[in-house]
Structure 1
Amino acid sequence: MNKKDIEILLIDDNKITREILRVILRDEGYHVVGEATDGGTGLDMALKLRPDMILLDVVMPKVSGLDILPKLKDMLPDSLVLLVTASKDQETVSAAVRTGIHGFILKPFNAQKIIDTVHSVAAKLNNNSTER
């Protein structure tokens, strides 16, 4: 699967974080198909857009990333989810791992960390598409 064919949804309440992620991902050739500012809106967008990859913030108003994570995994089992978080506490990490996330992007982040993590997870999409 070519990078430009990989559709990514950003779910993060911080406008600057979304903008940084969008610019870095687009500069790398990925296709950012949507952005949401909270978990509820993000879940709705994910179900509508069915992206290949979702970058999901943990702490957001209204509905958190950890609240929608099990629903995303259940309703969109082929979408790969990366958590974007500043939280390094063991409880958050354990909950996310139990739900089946595919990676973490820890805040504060830099462009290379985002690129490396997304490339690594995108390789799983490439492996899945060749197995079909």
Structure 2
Amino acid sequence: MSVETLHKVILHPFIQESLASLKAMTGLDGYAGDPFIDQVEDFRFKGYAVCSDMTGQLDGVVLMHHYEETAVAVGQAVQQALVGECNINGELDEDLIAALAEWGNTIVGRATHMLQKHNLGFEFASPHVALDLQDMGPYLLGVKEIVTVPVHIEDAGRYYFNLLVRDANQDAELAPVDNISDAYLIPPPTEGTPVPKDALIMSVDDSSLIRRAMHRLLTEMGYTNIITADDGDSAIETMKTHKPDFVFMDVVMKRLNGDDALAQMRELDAATPIVMLSSVTDSNTIERCKTLGAHGFVFKPLNADSGKQVLASYLVV
């Protein structure tokens, strides 16, 4: 496959999603430069990266790659948009890394969903964060070619998308994918009664940043009775103890994923509305959640501009 094909088919959806998510989550504008070939021996780790292995028509890695100062600027903007405050010490601390991971997972999740939906013969692993060359090392093994596209952000620097190619099907004929992925994977109800403002709502996410963001959005909507859980296991226990009226739950979590928690929660309670939120998913997970009776399934992020509208569309029974 040529550089043009690799760029237009594989990298283009990632770049488009990154620009759309950048605008939606931070208000920042950016634009992509022209693709070029990087020499493998000259490749240097820049300070922060989100990596996703891919297999199928191409064996390699999609890499979203930042200079540290750009990562800090974007992370601060994401934090500000999600929770109304940001870390100003200029270092990649735990909170900034969580904000960047949310942005990166959103981009990778939406782009890979779009590519898989078009049945182009690519499979992607869940994204991982690399903070140093040691983290990055395994992804560089066996790489023969690197396609790079710079993305410039107004007043914040630039980041890069790298496609690290180990092997490719030279005979593959692939058409470009230009669509931005769907926002609603299970659409909201078309009718119903709004959930009362004093209802007990549970928010489940293993990211403290996202729990704070959800609490902020729900509070601004007038909901005052909010509880949280930090993984699927604690969500199940909290449901047994507190019996919430409504649940928002992330899918990908460290100890027990949301779809597995949903299955166990449905054994306890078949009626409570449970909306799944995720930036990384696949069609099998969506179908499983449908079968288990999820009230909805939404692609994150839930940003300050549209988040309340999205949540309100599902907060009906």
> Under a length normalisation based on structure 1, what TM-score does the superposition of the two structures give?
0.83
- Would the aligned equivalents of 1:25 and 1:32 in 2 still touch at CA under 8 Å? no
SS in 2 for 1:3: coil
How far, CA to CA, are the matches of 1:69 and 1:91 in structure 2?
A: 14
Question: Match of 1:130?
Answer: none
CA drift at 1:2: 5.9
With over 3 angstroms needed to count, the CA separation of the structure-2 counterparts of 1:5 and 1:105, relative to structure 1, is same
The answer to whether 1:6 aligns with 2:229 is: no
Unaligned residue ranges in structure 2 (runs of 5+): 1-193
- Would the aligned equivalents of 2:205 and 2:253 in 1 still touch at CA under 8 Å? yes
CA drift at 1:79: 1.2
User: Which residue of 229, 240, 249 maps to 1:56?
Assistant: 249
* Alpha-carbon displacement from aligned partner over 1:73-105 (angstroms, at most 9, x marks no partner): 221223110101012421111111111101123
SS in 1 for 2:203: strand
Q: Which moved more, 1:100-109 or 1:49-58?
A: 100-109
With over 3 angstroms needed to count, the CA separation of the structure-2 counterparts of 1:64 and 1:88, relative to structure 1, is closer
Q: Which moved more, 1:102-111 or 1:82-91?
A: 102-111
SS in 2 for 1:56: strand
* Alpha-carbon displacement from aligned partner over 1:98-122 (angstroms, at most 9, x marks no partner): 1110112312222354323332332
Aligned residues: 124
Question: Match of 2:108?
Answer: none
Question: Match of 2:229?
Answer: 36
More helix, by proportion: 1
Root-mean-square deviation (CA, aligned residues, Å) is 1.8
User: Which aligned pairs between 1:43-122 and structure 2 lie closer than 5 A?
Assistant: 43-122=236-315
SS in 2 for 1:82: strand
- Would the aligned equivalents of 1:6 and 1:52 in 2 still touch at CA under 8 Å? yes
How far, CA to CA, are the matches of 1:105 and 1:68 in structure 2?
A: 17
How far, CA to CA, are the matches of 1:111 and 1:100 in structure 2?
A: 28
Paired residue type of 2:234: T
More strand, by proportion: 2
With over 3 angstroms needed to count, the CA separation of the structure-2 counterparts of 1:87 and 1:52, relative to structure 1, is same
With over 3 angstroms needed to count, the CA separation of the structure-2 counterparts of 1:35 and 1:78, relative to structure 1, is same
Identity %: 26
Paired residue type of 1:28: M
- Would the aligned equivalents of 1:105 and 1:113 in 2 still touch at CA under 8 Å? no
- Would the aligned equivalents of 1:58 and 1:83 in 2 still touch at CA under 8 Å? yes
* Alpha-carbon displacement from aligned partner over 1:27-78 (angstroms, at most 9, x marks no partner): 1011343111111111101111111111111111111111110121221223
Structure with greater Cα Rg: 2
Question: Match of 2:3?
Answer: none
Question: Match of 2:18?
Answer: none
How far, CA to CA, are the matches of 2:209 and 2:220 in structure 1?
A: 16
Paired residue type of 1:69: L
With over 3 angstroms needed to count, the CA separation of the structure-2 counterparts of 1:110 and 1:15, relative to structure 1, is same
- Would the aligned equivalents of 1:55 and 1:83 in 2 still touch at CA under 8 Å? yes
